[in-house]
Structures are given as structure tokens and as C-alpha cells.
């Protein structure tokens, strides 16, 4: 049985404001009515209303008793009233736009905003009574505030919903006047089954970063692939051929495939360690690994069983009028992953798509 049901409200990286990063999910075995987690909040109620007009059955959960008894499909406002928490990777507008715009009119229970401390502090500068009224509080006792800032500890699983925990790891997302700009990767775990998915906020390649931090994420992911962790959402904002000095803290297909190779190396190293008999696991293992570095041949099919959803592609309507940029970029990534024989499935993340994880 899958662990999670996820609906993609928006998967783009701009400039189309109707398709910005926004994902809604729940444990597979609970009903949407029981509570929903929002992962990023770029697009929101308007984009979802549009998707529901095209597919009113988007939130049908076949087999779940409470859903089959509903007499009519959910509205977009109903769905967002059921959100119990927002998980935010970083406070760039394309990831928080709808959270801000809807903050004064959200219905339903109080909603936590989970993010790292720095990112919540960034969000506070928007809820400052200048850019937008102050509609969020750090204090649980402030009953009149619908939104509650809640800090995620780094590299530690925090419970964010019954049977769902999130481990937040810092990422580098370019450089600005304040130094290295921080984003986050989330390991989202279904506690009952121990199955997880990995979701990346915007991220730059370790190869060009002044503070490479993605390798830590790959090291944490490698032992779980593919049985405990079979799905990754990762950005690829640009198409092939983008120059390194014009990445602006994002990935291109060439760099994304290098990153996936870095993951594959960690997976191979982990499996080598695992298959070594316990008696031989001290000094001889280190010696053997030094003599046998991971070669391109070792990486063949090492990511078999892994699905990689490409997200946050930036639109460029003029270049490919008949084909959304997310299709162009996903095909490019797919070709490069196939060339290296990594064995991962590379998939496009479409708005309005349901994903079982």
C-alpha cells in the first residue's frame, strides 16, 4: 500500500503566477477531510479552483469510507480550510505567495508554518504590518492568530501531523548581498511504514556553490534507496546549455545529473559497506574502498527503483510555443540520466497531477 497521496497544485518556478510551487498531501490511509499538509504555498486557492473545474474528482480517494460518502466534490476553499500546516523550504515569493495572500481569510483550524528559524524570520519581514498585515505569531497562546510559526530543527525528525515527521536539511540557493542564501530539503516520513519521500527547495549545484551542502542530503538519502525512499522531487529551473554564471542559485539538466551521480556514488558505497561481512568491516574496508573507487560502470542501474520528479522549471513561452518548458527540461534530464545508465525514472511534475508515494 502507498504511504502518501499527493496533489500537485503548481510545479513551476515562474513567471506564470498560476503555476508556482504548491503541493498538498496526506497519509494515504487517511481521508483529505482528516487534515491536509501543504508543502510550499506559491500558488494556492485560485490555481486549485482552476484545476478543480477541469477535474472535480481530483481529491477522490477510492476505498476510503469517509470520501465515498461525500455527496459533492471539494471546493478549493474547502481544501485549504482542511490544511493543518504549511511546510516552507524558503521564503522566496514563488514559494509563499498564496500563503501571504490568503492569510487573512483562511478557514478551519489554526495552521502551523513549519520551516527553519532563518526562513521563518524571513517570512516575518513580510508579515510586518508594512508589506502585509501581521497575521502570524510565534506564541501558541495568541488565539486570534490563525498562523503559528513553528521552527523545524535541522537534521532531526519533527512530528508535523499524526504519523508524519519531517527532517529539514539546509541547502545553498545562490549568493546575495547577505552571503549564501539558505533553502531546505525535506525528508517527509510516514512513521507507521517508515517510508519517505525527499522534497528539494530551490538549490544550486554543489560544484558551483561557495557552500556545497547537497552532498549531506545525498548521504542521508542513500541508505534508504529504493525501498524506504523511492520518490524525489527536485528542481531543474533551466534547460541545457545554461552558463554557470547565470544559474542564479538553481540547477540545469547537466548539473542535476551530476548531482544524481553524486547520490548514486553514495548508494554504491553504502551497498558495498553493507555487503562486507561484519568481521572485515574495520580497517580492511577502508583500504578496499581506497583501492576501488566507484567507477561509471559501478553506477549502472544503481538508482533503479527511484522516481525523480522534475519541478520548478522556469517558463519561457517564446522558445517552445507548443511545448511547456517542464516537458523540454524533463526530456533533457531523462536523456542524460539514460546516458549514464543510472536506472532512475525521470518524470514531469504537472499541475493537477495526483501522485501516490
User: By CB under 5 A, is residue 250 in contact with Zn ion?
Assistant: no
By CB under 5 A, name the one of 33, 40, 94, 206 that touches Zn ion: 94
Q: Is 33 in the site for Zn ion (CB under 5 A)?
A: no
C-alpha triplet 350, 196, 13: angle, nearest 5°: 30
Which region among 59-67, 91-99, 164-172, 334-342 touches Zn ion (by CB under 5 A)? 91-99
Ramachandran region, residue 247 (left: φ > 0; alpha: ψ -120 to 50; beta: rest): alpha
Residue 204 contacts Zn ion per CB under 5 A: no
Q: How far apart are CA 205 and CA 249, in angstroms?
A: 8
- Residue 83's contacts (CB-CB under 8 Å, 6 or more residues apart) are 24, 35, 36, 37, 38, 106, 108, 111
Query: How many angstroms separate the CA atoms of 245 and 249, rounded?
Result: 9
Cβ of residue 203: shortest distance to Zn ion, in angstroms?
9
Binding mask 206-245 for Zn ion (x = CB under 5 A): ----------------------------------------
- The H or E element spanning position 170 is strand 164-176
- Sign of the four-CA dihedral 198, 199, 201, 206: positive
Judge residue 4's burial from the number of C-beta atoms within 10 Å of its C-beta, 0-12 exposed, 13-18 middle, 19 or more buried.
Answer: buried
Taking the complex as a whole, how short is the minimal distance between the CB of residue 338 and Zn ion, in angstroms?
Answer: 27
Least distance to Zn ion from the beta carbon of 202, Å? 4
Cell reading at 286: 577502508
Residue span binding Zn ion (CB under 5 A) among the ranges 77-85, 202-210, 239-247, 342-350: 202-210
Q: Does 202 sit near Zn ion (CB under 5 A)? A: yes
Q: Tell me, by CB under 5 A, how many residues bind Zn ion.
A: 4
Contact between 92 and Zn ion (CB under 5 A)?
Answer: yes
* Contacting range for Zn ion; rule: CB under 5 A; set: 27-35, 197-205, 225-233, 342-350: 197-205
C-beta of 62: minimal distance to Zn ion in Å?
Answer: 33
Residue nearer to Zn ion on the CB measure, 97 or 330: 97
Task: For the CB of residue 133, give the shortest distance to Zn ion in the complex, in Å.
Answer: 24
Cβ proximity to Zn ion: between 13 and 35 the closer is 13
**122 versus 202: smaller Cβ distance to Zn ion:** 202
Q: Where does the chain have alpha helices with state H? A: 45-54, 65-68, 76-81, 93-102, 117-124, 214-221, 253-275, 283-291, 325-340
Cα separation, 290 vs 154, in Å, equals 31
Q: Site residues (CB under 5 A) for Zn ion?
A: 13, 92, 94, 202
Amino acid at each position: 500500500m502507498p504511504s502518501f497521496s499527493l496533489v500537485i497544485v503548481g510545479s513551476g518556478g515562474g513567471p506564470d503566477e498560476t503555476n508556482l510551487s504548491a503541493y498538498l498531501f496526506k497519509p494515504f490511509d487517511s481521508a483529505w477531510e482528516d487534515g491536509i499538509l501543504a508543502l510550499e504555498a506559491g500558488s494556492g486557492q485560485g490555481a486549485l479552483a482552476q484545476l478543480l473545474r477541469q477535474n472535480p474528482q481530483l481529491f477522490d480517494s477510492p476505498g476510503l469510507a469517509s470520501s465515498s460518502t461525500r455527496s459533492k466534490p471539494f471546493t478549493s476553499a474547502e481544501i485549504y480550510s482542511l490544511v493543518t500546516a504549511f511546510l516552507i523550504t524558503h521564503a522566496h515569493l514563488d514559494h509563499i505567495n498564496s500563503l501571504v495572500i490568503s492569510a487573512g481569510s483562511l478557514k478551519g483550524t489554526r495552521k502551523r508554518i513549519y520551516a527553519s528559524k532563518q526562513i521563518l524570520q524571513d517570512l516575518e519581514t513580510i508579515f510586518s504590518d508594512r508589506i502585509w498585515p501581521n497575521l502570524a505569531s510565534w506564541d501558541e497562546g495568541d488565539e486570534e492568530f490563525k498562523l503559528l510559526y513553528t521552527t523545524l530543527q535541522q537534521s532531526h525528525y519533527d512530528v508535523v501531523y499524526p504519523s508524519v515527521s519531517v527532517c529539514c536539511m539546509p541547502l545553498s540557493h545562490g549568493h546575495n548581498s547577505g552571503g549564501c542564501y539558505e533553502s531546505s530539503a525535506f525528508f517527509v516520513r510516514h512513521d507507521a511504514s517508515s517510508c519517505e519521500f525527499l522534497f528539494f527547495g530551490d538549490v544550486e549545484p554543489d560544484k558551483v556553490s561557495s557552500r556545497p551542502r547537497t552532498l549531506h542530503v545525498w548521504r542521508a538519502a542513500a541508505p534508504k534507496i529504493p525501498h524506504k525512499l523511492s520518490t524525489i522531487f527536485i528542481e531543474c529551473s533551466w534547460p541545457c546549455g545554461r552558463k554557470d554564471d547565470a544559474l542564479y542559485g538553481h540547477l540545469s539538466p547537466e548539473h542535476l545529473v551530476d548531482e544524481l551521480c553524486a547520490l548514486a556514488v553514495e548508494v554504491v558505497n553504502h551497498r558495498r559497506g553493507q555487503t562486507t561481512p561484519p568481521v572485515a568491516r574495520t580497517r580492511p574496508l577502508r583500504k578496499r574502498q581506497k583501492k576501488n573507487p566507484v567507477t561509471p560502470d559501478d553506477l549502472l542501474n544503481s538508482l533503479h527503483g527511484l522516481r525523480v520528479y522534475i519541478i520548478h522549471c522556469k517558463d519561457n513561452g517564446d522558445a517552445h510555443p507548443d511545448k511547456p518548458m517542464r516537458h523540454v527540461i524533463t526530456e533533457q534530464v531523462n536523456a542524460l540520466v539514460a546516458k549514464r545508465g543510472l536506472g532512475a525514472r525521470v518524470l514531469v511534475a504537472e499541475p493537477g497531477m495526483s501522485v501516490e508515494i
